[in-house]
Amino acid sequence: MPRRPCLHNVATMAANIQAAPKEATMANPYDTVLEAHCDASPAAVYDVLTDLSTHLDWGGRQQRRSFRLTSMEGSGPLRLGTEFDSRGSMPMTRARWEDHNVVVRADPALVEFHTASIAVWPTGRRTVARWEHRYEIAPDGAGSRVVYRLRQAAMTDPPLRLRVPVMRTLTRRVMMPFFCQRGFTNLLQAAQRRATPVAGA
């Protein structure tokens, strides 16, 4: 059984991507972009997004079992420089992502955090990646418009689904948006529930 990496080493391993051989690193960043209207105000969306205690709900328990956060280590609201660790499941494998996250922007109109990830596959093969999560929040009528951008900034030793051209195209254009959509929708619904007073309260 492959050894699980120590989370405090994940960020260092991801930083080493830059020194990896060119053929071992995915050359071009790729963005998955989701956009939707939310009936909640920008302030409500921002409050939910920066409340770390909500992430295991909209990004975990309410997500698809094969693509969800399974645990988090960290507390408090997300602010510039906040760091937290997380683990998550992946489709079609028992392997798990081990993540170290750092918030690089936390404004009412823009929240962004970068994730250094490592996955150890059943074969012992290791994939190290760097992801950038960016949430743009703007007023839209009585509610807000939210744009989520997930950038695959770098990756070494990618899995088969991201190495073979046809499979890589299918994963990027179909599977990643499909799996990310539910978590994104859950986030917006959580903001709407927080902004809507409970009857009789």
The SS3 call for residue 191 is: helix
Note the pLDDT of residue 159: 84
Dist. CA 20–CA 95, nearest whole Å: 23
Segment 143-153 shows an average pLDDT of 96
Residue 25 has pLDDT above 50, yes or no: no
How far CA 29 is from CA of 25, 41, 58, 145, in Å, comes to 10, 32, 26, 25
Which pLDDT band holds residue 16 (cuts at 50, 70, 90)?
very low
Domain boundary assignment for the chain: 24-195
Residue 128 has pLDDT above 60, yes or no: yes
Which pLDDT band holds residue 9 (cuts at 50, 70, 90)?
low
For residue range 53-63, list pLDDT tens digits in order.
Answer: 999 999 999 99
pTM listed for this prediction: 0.83
Dist. CA 23–CA 60, nearest whole Å: 34
- Taking the mean position of all CA atoms in its chain, how far away is CA 18? 21
Dist. CA 117–CA 82, nearest whole Å: 17
Percent of the chain topping pLDDT 70: 83
User: Which of 26-35, 135-144, 165-174 is modeled with the greatest confidence?
Assistant: 135-144
Number of helices (H), then strands (E), belonging to the chain: the values are 5, 7
Residue 22 has pLDDT above 50, yes or no: no
24-195 carries CATH number 3.30.530.20: yes
